[in-house]
Amino acid sequence: MAISMNRERRTRTRRPFAFFRADAQRGARDHERPILEFEDVYKFFGEEQAALRGLNLKIERGEFVFLTGPSGAGKSTMLRLITRELGVDSGRILFAGKDISRLTDRSIPYLRRNLGIVFQDFRIIPHWSVAENVAISLEVMDYSPRLIRSRVSEVLERVGLEGRGGERAGRLSGGEQQRVAIARAIVTEPALILADEPTGNLDPALAVDILTLFEEIHETGATVLFATHDHGMIERGNHRILSLEKGRVYDVRKGLSSWSASGVHTVREQGLRVVAG
C-alpha cells in the first residue's frame, strides 16, 4: 500500500497540469480548448500606467505565433503574466482551459513545469556544465539521474550540441548558449514554449539559425509564442502574428510573409482585422 501511495505521489508530481486542484477532474474537452486564452486582461503598474488594457487573445495547440510590437507595448508583461511572475489586475488567463491567474504560490511551480521559457539574455548558469544547465529542468521534477542523463543527451543532439554536455556553459558562443537555453526549455516537452526576444543578442545569421531551430521544434507538435520586434525574423516565417501596442493586441493573420513595415500602423493601413482594442 505504502509503495503504491508513493508511486502515486511521484506520478502526481510529474504529471503535466498537476498544478490544478488535487480533486479536479480533467474534462474530456480540455484537449480541444486553446492552449492559451486571455480574457479581458488588465495589468497596471501604478494607478494610471496600464501595461495591458483589456487584452483578449487565443492561441491554439500546435500554433507558432509571433508576438511583436514596439518597446513598452506590453510584450514582456504579457509573457510574465503567463509565467505568473506577475498577477493580473482583472480578467482571466486560461492555460489549457484552466484559470492560472488565481493560482496559489504553491501551485505556480507546477504551472512553470508546463512552460518552456527562453530569454534574450539566455539566463544560463555560466559556471555549470551544458548538461547541468539542461538537467535542472528535469531535476526539479524529481526524475531519476539515469533518465535525466538520457533525456539531456537526446535534447542536446536535437539542438546541435551533441557531445558537448561536459563543457562549461560560460565558454560557449552566444548562439550556442542560446541553444543551451532552448534545450533547457524543451527537455520537459512543455505544453507551451515562450521565447522572449530570443534572437535579440545574436547576429543576424545566428538569429536565423535559432528561429529555424524553434520552427523545427514547432514541427514536432510544440506550441511556440515567439516575442520579437525584429521584422526580419517575422518576414522569414509564415506564421500568425500578434501585434501589441499600448497594451492592446492586433491580430495579423497567417500568410503575411511580405509584411515589411514596422508597428501597428501598417496593420491598420492595410485594413487588417483588429481582434481587440
Partner 1 sequence: MNLRTLITRAMRGFREERRLYLSAIFSLAIAFLCLASAILALRNFETLSSRWSEAGKLSLYLDEGLSVEATAELELLLSGLREIRRIEHISNEEARLEFLAGAVDGAALRELPAELFPSSLELYLEPNLAAADIEALATRLGTLSGVASLERYQSFFERLDRMIGAGRWGTIGLSLLVALLVFGVVGSTIRLSLARRSREIEVMKLVGAQPSFIRGPFIVEGVFQGAAAALIAIVTLAVFYFGFRSEIDLGVRLFFGGETLFFGPGAIVGFLIGGALMGGLGSTLSLRRYLA
Minimum CB–partner distance for residue 148 and partner 1 (Å): 9
56 or 83: whose CB is closer to partner 1? 83
Query: Which ranges of 119-172 does DSSP label H, i.e. alpha helix?
Result: 130-139, 145-158
Q: Is 120 in the site for partner 1 (CB under 8 A)?
A: no
Give 92's DSSP letter. E
Q: Is 117 in the site for partner 1 (CB under 8 A)?
A: yes
Minimum CB–partner distance for residue 204 and partner 1 (Å): 27
Whole-angstrom distance, CA of residue 240 vs CA of residue 225: 10
The three grid cell numbers given for residue 255, joined into one nine-digit string: 500568410
- List the x/- string, 150-189, binding to partner 1 by CB under 8 A: ----------------------------------x---x-
Minimum CB–partner distance for residue 77 and partner 1 (Å): 16
Q: Which of 55, 67, 88, 124 binds partner 1 (CB under 8 A)?
A: 124
The three grid cell numbers given for residue 64, joined into one nine-digit string: 507558432
Q: Which of 111, 195, 213, 233 binds partner 1 (CB under 8 A)?
A: 111
108 or 274: whose CB is closer to partner 1? 108
The stretch near partner 1 (CB under 8 A) out of 64-72, 142-150, 215-223, 253-261 is 142-150
Q: Is 112 in the site for partner 1 (CB under 8 A)?
A: yes
Q: CA dihedral defined by 236, 214, 39, 277, rounded to 10 degrees?
A: -20
Query: Which contiguous run of DSSP H or E holds residue 251?
Result: strand 248-252
CB atoms < 10 A from the CB of 202, how many?
20
Q: 221 Cβ partners below 8 Å, 6+ apart?
A: 62
The three grid cell numbers given for residue 264, joined into one nine-digit string: 501597428
Q: Confirm if 200 and 225 have CB atoms less than 8 A apart.
A: no
Q: Is 109 in the site for partner 1 (CB under 8 A)?
A: yes
192 or 233: whose CB is closer to partner 1? 192
Q: What are phi and psi of 91, to 5 degrees?
A: 95, -175
Query: Which contiguous run of DSSP H or E holds residue 118?
Result: strand 115-119
Q: Is 54 in the site for partner 1 (CB under 8 A)?
A: no
Total binding residues for partner 1 by CB under 8 A?
Answer: 22
Q: How many Å from the N-terminal Cα to the C-terminal Cα in the chain?
A: 56
- List the x/- string, 186-205, binding to partner 1 by CB under 8 A: --x-----------------
69 or 116: whose CB is closer to partner 1? 116
58 or 149: whose CB is closer to partner 1? 149
Q: Is 76 in the site for partner 1 (CB under 8 A)?
A: no
Minimum CB–partner distance for residue 259 and partner 1 (Å): 31
Grid cell 486542484 — which residue?
A: 21
Count of residues making up the chain: 277
Whole-angstrom distance, CA of residue 210 vs CA of residue 71: 22
Q: Given the rule CB under 8 A, which residues bind partner 1?
A: 83, 106, 109-113, 117, 123-125, 127, 136-137, 139-142, 144-145, 184, 188
